[in-house]
Amino acid sequence: MKIRQPRPAAQNDSGKTFSPEVSRAPTALIAEDEPLIAAALQRELTAAWPELHLLATVGNGQDAIERIVALQPDVAFLDISMPGSTGLDVARACTKLAAPPQIVFVTAYNQYALDAFDAAAVDYLLKPVDATRLARTIDRLCVRLSRAPTDAMPGARMQAHLQRLLCQLEQITRSTAPENRAQASDQRPPLRYLRASSGSDIRIVPVEDVLYFEAADKYVVVATRTGELLIRMSLKELVAQLDPARFWQVHRSTVVNVDKVESASVSALGKTSIKLRGHDGAIAVSKQYAHMFRQM
């Protein structure tokens, strides 16, 4: 079944000419600045939606805008936090197109924000991508795409829809910005589980099993007895969701599970370090936090 009005033939990134009118397949673009996450999303889409034709994968918002204009995909998967132009900027540019794509935001926002996304009727995927959640998103997209040929004003209606969603999503992102979360975090129970990635696998990790968290570029390393995993959010965002009685910040880049602290020591140079049960090696404690371990 043909799901969109015919569009001119376009070339994908491999240089092969693709015509929606001939293949009748839905088309998509992925905008994600982290190659590993983009590759994982592409694999999940290939498995869950084999009919989908991926036209391009780009790493920043400006390239996304240019490729969307040139290739006219049916769907755009947009990372919200990209260097330069963000996913919101790309979506805003799409509202000016005659036939904007369906927008799916790819986000690192945590669970407490998801109800707000649903209330705003925004399709989203939480990083790392969950197969069940992706299937729900694909179902929504298939329904919307199948209605497009019978819509008398698909472009105008999509423009208006995107404008409304952008207004709502911008309110959500402002309210969930790190500087605005402190007060809200007091009203939420502490985080109990984490969804963390290990290669292409996703694991559900009880926070009580975590030895420590360590900031690493755009990720936070989650260290457990069995190894290290990754979550994509800032350490500051994560700390706002943790139980402060259990998780203590001991360095600008390190938060430890105090239940796992075995001992603390001070070197001849006055530097404090701690030893965690189940972890080889010492964890450095900065001077700012050293007072927490003076009685140990």
At 47-93, the pLDDT tens digits run 999 999 999 999 999 999 999 999 999 999 998 878 778 888 888 88
Please check whether residue 110 is in contact with residue 174, taking contact to mean a CB–CB distance below 8 angstroms.
Answer: no
State whether residue 107 is helix, strand or coil: strand
At 101-145, the pLDDT tens digits run 888 888 765 543 454 454 443 577 877 788 888 999 999 899 888
CA distance 66 to 48: 27
CB burial readout 167-194, b (16+ within 10 A) else e: ebbeebbeebeeeebeeebeeeeebeeb
Query: Could you give all domains of the chain from N- to C-terminal order, each with its CATH number?
Result: 10-176 (3.40.50.2300), 190-293 (2.40.50.1020)
Instruction: Supply the pLDDT for residue 275.
Output: 94
Strand partners, 264: 274
CA distance 294 to 247: 17
At 155-164, the pLDDT tens digits run 555 556 556 6
